[in-house]
Amino acid sequence: MVHNQIQRNMNLLDFIKTFPNEESCKSHFKKQREQEGVICKQCGNTTHYWHSGKWQWQCKKCSFRTCLKSGSIMECSKVDIRTWYLAMAFMSFSKKTISASELQRQLNHPKYDTIWRLMHKIRTAMGKRDNLYRLEGAIEFDEAYFEKAISQRVQLKRGRGSQRQINVAVMAESTPLEDTVTGEKSNHCRYFKMKVLNHHKMDAVDDLLKESIHEKSILFSDKSTSYVNIADYVETHVSEKSDAQTTKTTLKWVHIAISNAKRTLLGIFHKIKGKYLQLYLDEFCYKLNRRYFGEKLFDRVTLAVAKSYW
């Protein structure tokens, strides 16, 4: 018998069986919130009684009540939990991603805006989850440039060829490996981060490294003047002159990730407005970092959405 090593992703049929109605989604979401830990907004306590009839938790210390959605990324949403679940399902079933208009069509939902906002909230939860981790070990670092969509009015004013680009810092944990027999060099990748650089470049890179990378790391980059301070934030900084060889070896994984991200995002969204790019990158990296999760991916997305953020 041959075992299939790669886990099968949950599909629409499994979803319909497990979550046939609002009640089943609510029960599952309650379980996920309890696994993540329900936090009392008033006193910070984490032990609660459950009022099943009201779908509310009551703080054991101060009696403050927390509704099923309160404090999670679903807070204040009037959309039913099954619609949220369907959105999370479609987003995790597809290897790439799904556009809001396509999801609106699939769900037969009357409002595009509602679906669009809901998807961005799910992406926010994905980004927040990945922000909890810092990269460590050997790390590749480079910048990518994404084309920014600008309004027609601005375009006319500036004339042709005035499309601006958005700088994105791309980082990948990449362990160098050497084949002891052949001496062939390669590297193995683990987690990725992609962050839009918003303000003055040098400061932006400094801030980013502080929050994204463990100080005991070894960082590989090309020789760019904007990276002069990198050595202050990591144990070792190795910079190489950028050439075709660097792209294939030292910075291999960041370059593969950059071209995949561009293909995935631009194929679906054409041009993305600058302020939303980070959210799309958050979804891309979240899925890339969990590429071997298989059917657990959907469950993990519901956990990220269930987390309390107060």
Smallest gap from residue 57 Cβ to Zn ion (A): 10
Taking the least distance from each CB to Zn ion, the nearer of 47 and 229 is 47
Q: Provide, rounded to whole angstroms, the least separation between the CB of residue 70 and Zn ion.
A: 13
CB of 273 to Zn ion, least distance (A): 40
Q: Does 16 bind Zn ion (CB under 5 A)?
A: no
**Coil, helix or strand for 7?**
coil
Q: How far is the CB of 38 from Zn ion (least distance, A)?
A: 10
Site for Zn ion in 118-147 (CB under 5 A): none
Min separation Cβ 47 and Zn ion, Å: 9
Answer positive or negative: Cα dihedral of 20, 24, 29, 31: negative
CB atoms within 10 A of CB 154: 10
Sketch the per residue contact string, 81 through 120, with Zn ion: x for CB under 5 A, - otherwise.
----------------------------------------
Pick 292 or 310: Cβ nearer Zn ion: 310
Distance between CA 4 and CA 131 in Å, rounded? 32
The two tokens of residue 196 are: 């839009």
Count of residues of this chain found to bind Zn ion when the rule CB under 5 A is applied:
8
* Listed residue (219, 201, 257, 216) closest to 141, CA to CA: 219
Binding to Zn ion by CB under 5 A, coded x per residue (else -) over 44-83, reads: -x-------------x-xx-x-------------------
Q: Going along the chain, which residue ranges are E strands?
A: 48-51, 56-59, 65-67, 138-147, 165-178, 185-196, 218-222, 236-240
Question: In the complex, what is the shortest distance from the CB of residue 41 to Zn ion, in angstroms, rounded to a whole number?
Answer: 8
- Closer residue to Zn ion in complex, CB, 57/220: 57
* Near Zn ion in 27-46, by CB under 5 A: 40, 42-43, 45
Of the pair 75, 211, the CB lying nearest Zn ion is at 75
Collapsing DSSP to helix, strand or coil, 128 comes out as helix
Nearer to Zn ion, 40 or 281 (CB): 40
Rounded to an integer, what distance in angstroms lies between the CA atom of residue 250 and that of residue 241?
Answer: 11
Nearer to Zn ion, 58 or 167 (CB): 58
| Cβ at position 69, least distance to Zn ion in Å | 18
Nearer to Zn ion, 27 or 45 (CB): 45
- Interaction site with Zn ion (CB under 5 A): 40, 42-43, 45, 59, 61-62, 64
